[in-house]
Each structure stands twice: as structure tokens, then as C-alpha cells.
Structure 1
Amino acid sequence: MKTTTLTHGDTGLDVVELQELLNRAGIPVATDGWFGERTAEAVRQAQRRFGLVVDGLAGRKTLTALRTGIDDPRHLREADLIAAAERLGVSLASIKAVNQVESNGTGFLPDGRPVLLLERHVLYRQLKAAGHDADALALRYPQLVGTQRGGYAGGTTEWHRYQNARHIDAACAIEACSWGLFQIMGFHWQGLGYASAQAFADAMMTSEAQQLAAFVGFIEAEPALHKALKAKKWAEFARLYNGPSYRDNDYDVKLARAFERFDTAAVPA
């Protein structure tokens, strides 16, 4: 089965395998290779059983739970999103939309380490602020330190960049990375109430619930962002959260569509 998320409208052998897994789990559904509403509801039923986020999408966490019958306790729960929505005073559909669009479905890599991305231009800035000769370091480590974005390796290889950056300055390396499901930059640690950059990193390594807590704190610390989320002004939220290039990835369109889907699913038939 492919590792990308299966969703409504998908067809083929991957969907057949999903349907077979659902049937083996005691959730009857036709094995017709069509991911229609009946399959989506069966997936939601499985997610409720395992305590996962109920979104009707068959991603890595749902598929693993179906295959093994168990779930990693570090995974995000529906209850976590409900609590976050209540704390922020927004609809659950809004939080689910952000969770779907802003994350790749999981805050951890297959090897158990949290998802992260080292931003070399941020490392340059943080090193300079910490008193290092950032220009000399940029010449020596151009893939780690620089005035321009880039140098990304992606996936597990990104951890090699992070570990190498730690040899220069551990705190600055943490601050220069985006962490977890919601890609919160490490340099926000103090404003989010963590005791240190390392305390922030330790929390991100603990669970997706902790990654969600950092996101909630980030939203609370940014009144304009919080206001946009409450008002469901997706273009404004995407601009503030992702920067002016949000249109390149259609973040606002994806958020609006995801919200509509989750909002509709929340209405009793």
C-alpha cells in the first residue's frame, strides 16, 4: 500500500487493501476499490475505535493501527483537537482544517524522531545574535548557514543537518528549525513559555499533543492570527501563518476546502 494518504474519490488496489483491513478489524465495507462515503465512514469508525483524529482520511497512523490493532500513544487524539478548539474559541472543523493542511499527517518520522526542517537563513540570524561570526560560518558550512533560504535535505536526512548545526551551537540549531505537526519555529520558545530552547525541543519530541500545545500557544500569542482563525478568513490566516508566498501552495484554498468538508461532516445526517 502506498504511504500517501488515501481519501474520498481514490480508487485502485490500495483502496481494496484498506477495505480488507477494515473488514478484518470487524468494520464491514465492500471491497470494491472505491473510496466512497461508506469507506470514509468506516475509516472514521476505525479512528474512533483507536482514539485517533476522526477525519475520514486513511493516512499512515490509521493504516498502522488497522494493521497492528494498536496505536502509538504519541499520536494526536480527537480529544486533543477538541480541547484545542475550546481553548482557542474556534470550531473543531477549523482546527481540523489547519491540522490537515499545515501538517503532513504526522509529527514524527517513521524512525520515531519528530519532523523538523532546518532554515539556514534563520540559523545565520540566530548565530549572529548569539555573538558568533555568522559570515565565517556561512562560508564554512554553506548547507547549514546562509543569508538565503535553501540547503534542505528533507525527511530523515534533515536530522543530519540539525545534528551538524548543534555542533556549532545547540540552542541556535533548535531555534533555527521548524518542529512537528504545525512547523512551529524553535526561536519562539521563550514567547511560548518554555524554560529554554532545549525544553521546547524536548516537548516536541514527546508527542503530537505537545506539538499541538505549541501551536495553540503560538496562535494565542498572535492576536491577528487568532482573529483570522476565529473569523475563518483563510487567506489572511494563511498569509500570517505561511508568509506572503502562501498563494504558491494554495494554502488558503486548501484550508477553505478542508474546513467545508469537516464542517459538513459534523452536521448530523
Structure 2
Amino acid sequence: MLLRNGDTGYRVEALQRALVAAGHALEVDGWFGDETESAVRAAQRAHDLVIDGLAGPKTRRALKQGTDPKALRQIDLVGAAETLDVELAAVMAVNEIESRGLGFHVGGSRNGAPVILFERHIMRRRLIHHAINPVPYQQRQPNIVNDKPGGYIGGPREHERLAAADAIQGSAAIESASWGLFQIMGFHWHRLGYASAEVFAESMAISEGRQLEAFVRFIEADSALHSALRRQDWRDFARRYNGPAFERNDYDTKLAAAYRRHAGDLEMAA
């Protein structure tokens, strides 16, 4: 859950207690006001995180467990903005609205594994691409190979489906999952300049910064999407990035609001 300025309640109080325990002078009153936001920003700066004043799971975990070397950093977003030649606030808005918030699983047997979502209908297409008849696999393992989307387990257990697909054909398995913070599909690996699907997957397992790099390559590879981001044309960007149903989730208005907020209070680097 993401806590932000204006929120109230027991979750905010717990955040404030964690901030106080970490040495930030703050009244524990259950209201996320300007002082709490300033303390959150200070904590994010201290732990080399994205400095956005939003208390998400990475910020709250850092207050308890310390700095995570895999976590996305402010300097990563600065570098992405420079590479794309767009405003830092625009990249921060996309990171806030379009990312999954966490690029790696926390806890359990898949602790530290990149977040994925395996797509069985893509697996069918990729097997055909690799000159493998998908029909026998679709008959025996319809949750792994199918002509229709679905079969999702969700969360860390998606890696079980990936492993089952890998037993059929390794590259096709990687190509059939979306990876990391920005849900980049593996079959884009060649278009994005990776040497192989396996190299792409290895990069996604290194850090959220590398996952951001894949997103940057994805934007660079689509001139219309890149142009929409440069112009802060959030309706056009959302339509191209999220698909024709983008209005259902108000992605364009959420991106515009996030951009305005970040443009008002930027930090160039952690």
C-alpha cells in the first residue's frame, strides 16, 4: 500500500513510529502531513531510494531492514531522463503510475526473484516461432501453452509456470513472461538490443535499475511513444503504453497528476 500526503489512520501512525525509531523528529499523530513527507524524503535519501515522498513498501522496509542494493534509486531515474531527453518529473510520474512498485519478490522461497507474469498464449506463439509444434503441449499442459490468455497463479508462484515452460523450451519461456517493475515482455529482447532472451532475463534479475533500463530501451524503440512522453501528452502516452482500454483505469489523468506533483518538488539524485 502506498501512503502519501493527506492520508490518515493507523498505517500512517505505524509509518511515523518507524520514522521516529530511525531518528526523525516527528509527532506520531496518524496524519501524513508536510512534516511526515519531509521525514519520508529524508529516509529515502538516506537509503538511496527514489526520493518522491511516497511511503511504499520499499521505503517502509528500508526503515526496518536497511538499504536494499537492488532497489531503484533516484540517480537511476535521473539517468533515464537524461537518456530519453525528457523531464525528470515525467519519468518519475511514469515510475509512480506504470510500475508495479516492486521489481522483486520479498520473502518466501522466491525471495529476490524478479516479479513476472507468465502468458500462456504468448508461449504458444513463441513455440511456433521456434519451430516447435505447440499442440501436444497445449493438450497436456493447457495452463502453460494455450491459444487463450489465463491460467494465472499470481505472485511468486508464476515462477512455477515459468519453470514448467522452461522445461519445454527455455527461450520461449523467457519470451512469454513480462518482467520487472515495468512489465516488459521477454519477446522484446531483440528489439531492445539484448544479445539473447537469456541475457535479458539475467539483466532483469540484477536490480530494479536494470529493469528501468529495459523500460528506457522500450521507449527509445517506439518513436511515437517516446514523442508522447517528451510532450507530456499523457493521453497519447497512456493509450500507447496501456492499450485502448487505458481510460478504464484513468491512467492518463493519474499520470498528469503525478507529473504535476513531481514537477513541483524534484531532487536530482540521492
Q: Same fold (TM over 0.5)?
A: yes
For 2:15 and 2:34, locate their aligned partners in 1 and report how far apart those are by CA, in whole Å.
Answer: 14
Q: Is the 8 A contact 1:191 1:221 kept in 2?
A: yes
The separation in 2 between residues aligned to 1:34 and 1:108, in whole angstroms, is 30
Distance in 1 (CA, whole Å) between partners of 2:246 and 2:151 is 20
Indicate the larger mover: 248-257 or 225-234: 248-257
Could you tell me the TM-score, scaled by structure 2's length? Answer: 0.94
CA distance in structure 2 between the partners assigned to 1:210 and 1:219 by the alignment: 14
Q: Distance in 1 between matches of 2:252 and 2:174?
A: 28
Cα distance, 1:187 vs structure 2: 0.6
Match of 1:53 in 2: 50
Identity across matched positions, percent: 51
Alignment: residue pair count: 263
C-alpha offsets along residues 170-220 of structure 1, whole Å, 9 cap, x if unaligned?
A: 100100111001111101111111111001000000001110111111111
**Which residue number in structure 2 is paired with residue 208 of structure 1?**
208
CA distance in 2, matches of 1:119, 1:204: 17
Alpha-carbon distance in structure 2 between the residues aligned to 1:209 and 1:227: 23
CA contact (8 A) 2:228 2:236 kept: yes
Match of 1:115? 115
Aligned to 1:22: 19
Could you tell me whether the CA contact under 8 Å between 2:116 and 2:180 is conserved in 1? Answer: yes
Provide the C-alpha distance between the structure 2 equivalents of 1:19 and 1:161, rounded to a whole number of angstroms.
39
Residue 16 of structure 2 is aligned to residue 11 of structure 1: no
* Stretch deviating more after TM superposition (257-266 or 102-111): 257-266
- Residue 137 (structure 1) shift: 2.0
Q: Does 1:188 pair with 2:188?
A: yes
Shift of 1:135: 2.9
Q: 1:264 Cα shift?
A: 2.0
Secondary structure class of the residue paired with 1:206: coil
Q: What TM-score, normalized by structure 1, do the two folds share?
A: 0.94
Mapping 1:131-142, distance limit 5 Å:
131-142=131-142
For 2:136 and 2:241, locate their aligned partners in 1 and report how far apart those are by CA, in whole Å: 32
Cα distance in 1, alignment partners of residues 212 and 168 from structure 2: 29
Unpaired runs of at least 5, structure 2: none
- The separation in 2 between residues aligned to 1:206 and 1:220, in whole angstroms, is 21
For structure 1, the 5+ residue unaligned runs are none
Match of 1:34 among 31, 34, 38: 31
Contact preservation (8 Å) 2:4, 2:54? yes
1:62 to 40, 59, 63: 59
Residue equivalent to 2:243: 243
Root mean square deviation of aligned Cα: 1.3
Counterpart-to-counterpart distance in 2, 1:152 and 1:244: 22
**Higher relative contact order structure (alpha carbons within 8 Å, sequence separation ≥ 6):** 2
Aligned partner (choices 77, 83, 100) of residue 81 of structure 1: 77
Equivalent residue for 2:99?
A: 103
